[in-house]
A and B are shown apart, each in its own frame.
Chain A
Amino acid sequence: GDSVTQMQGQVTLSEDDFLFINCTYSTTWYPTLFWYVQYPGEGPQLLLKVTTANNKGISRGFEATYDKRTTSFHLQKASVQESDSAVYYCVLGERTNTGKLTFGDGTVLTVKP
């Protein structure tokens, strides 16, 4: 079945550091790929999505490129802020009429001032 792998359970950075969160996926379909972010006490919310292979999604300074060859969708940000501290989920979306999403296990990002 579909799966998403995030190897980094926790990432700790200082403000203005470069962020890189690794994500790889496995599916027999041509999925839509998402990054969701979850702040404490809230549900996940969409950060960015990419529907087409080899395209890049950009939002709020974050970016991710849908790489079909390496089946990866890594998240990057050039300079993190303390307010970016949250849990980040790499998510695979089925292109069927169910709209089902498959979540990675999440990466807890802590940014120290």
Chain B
Amino acid sequence: EAAVTQSPRNKVTVTGGNVTLSCRQTNSHNYMYWYRQDTGHGLRLIHYSYGAGNLQIGDVPDGYKATRTTQEDFFLLLELASPSQTSLYFCASSDGTGNSDYTFGSGTRLLVI
């Protein structure tokens, strides 16, 4: 079954720490996305990619890097984590046509203390 799998499910790190969130999709989709979800803000787009080696900036990119190593794998990197990055992070994939819907992962809950 086509899916989007995120790991880890939960992560705790200290301020200034280095964190990598992983996402793998088996949908054969070209596009992958990283969103953060915060109470009162819905989902906000951090970065997205339309293929291996490609990276596009989203709406709230500050403090985040991302890398798309293969069509299946998309990573979100926090190199100097701050408490403001405490959030629920979702990865998603789509075929990018604009009419297509997304398949979301189950999320990674990150706590920066």
Which A residues lie at the B interface, using CB under 8 A? 9, 32, 34, 41-46, 49, 51, 89, 93-101, 103-106
CA distance A103 to B56 in the complex (A): 18
Contacts of A96 in B (CB 8 A): 98
Which residues of chain B come closer than 8 Å to A105, judged between CB atoms?
Answer: 40-42
From B4, B35, B98, B106, give the contact of A99 (CB < 8 A): B98
**For residue A43, which residues in chain B have a CB less than 8 angstroms away from its CB?**
4, 90, 92, 104-107
- Pick from B96, B102, B107: contact of A97, CB below 8 A: B96
In the bound complex, do residue A45 and residue B98 qualify as a contact, i.e. CB atoms below 8 Å apart? Answer: no
Give the chain B neighbours of A106 by CB distance below 8 A: 42
B31 within 8 A of A: yes
In the bound complex, what is the Cα–Cα distance between A49 and B98 (angstroms)? 12
- B48 proximal to A (CB < 8 A): yes
Quick check: A100 and B45 within 8 Å, CB to CB? yes
Chain B positions 1-49 with a Cβ under 8 Å from a chain A Cβ: 4, 31, 33, 35, 40-45, 48
A99 & B94 in contact (Cβ 8 Å cutoff): yes
Q: A43-B92, A44-B43, A103-B42 are in contact. Are A98 and B104 (CB under 8 A)?
A: no
Q: Please report the C-alpha to C-alpha distance between residue A89 and residue B42 in the assembled complex, in whole angstroms.
A: 8
B99 contacts A93, C-beta separation under 8 Å: yes
Chain A contacts of B44 at CB under 8 A? 103
Chain A residue at minimal CB-CB distance from B90? A43
